[in-house]
């Protein structure tokens, strides 16, 4: 089941509303783009390579980040609580409000 979400870009951030959770997240634009790619038909390899270049981080860290993003934001059994987010040290990408 696809998660229902709306997004709006405001300055250098993207606000994403998740209907199923009735919560908003403020994402860096790059993270919002990754979320969109993960939700669509892009291949995992393509998402990792493009994202690694945009984030300027090693492939293994990018893979971990994308897997966590997918697990937290797309998996219907997870919640959008702050304790579910991993600190990626230097990648300030997720903010819950």
What is the pLDDT at residue 14? Answer: 93
Residue corresponding to tokens 């993270």: 31
Q: How many helices (H) and strands (E) does the chain have?
A: 3, 4
What is the pLDDT at residue 15? Answer: 92
Cβ neighbors of 84 (< 8 A, separation 6 or more) are 72, 78
Cβ–Cβ < 8 Å for 30, 37:
no
For residue 47, the enclosing domain spans 5-96
pLDDT in tens, the chain (97 residues): 455 667 889 888 999 888 877 888 888 888 888 888 887 878 888 888 888 888 888 888 888 888 888 777 776 565 555 555 555 554 444 444 3
Count of structural domains within the chain: 1
């Amino acid at each position: 089941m696809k998660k229902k979400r709306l997004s709006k870009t405001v300055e250098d951030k993207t606000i994403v509303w998740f209907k199923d959770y009735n919560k908003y997240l403020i994402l860096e634009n790059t993270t919002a783009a990754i979320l969109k790619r993960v939700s669509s038909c892009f291949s995992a390899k393509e998402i990792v390579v493009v994202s690694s270049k945009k984030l300027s981080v090693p492939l293994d860290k990018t893979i971990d980040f994308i897997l966590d993003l997918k697990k937290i934001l797309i998996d219907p059994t997870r919640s959008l609580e702050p304790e579910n987010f991993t600190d990626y040290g230097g990648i300030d990408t997720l903010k819950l409000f």
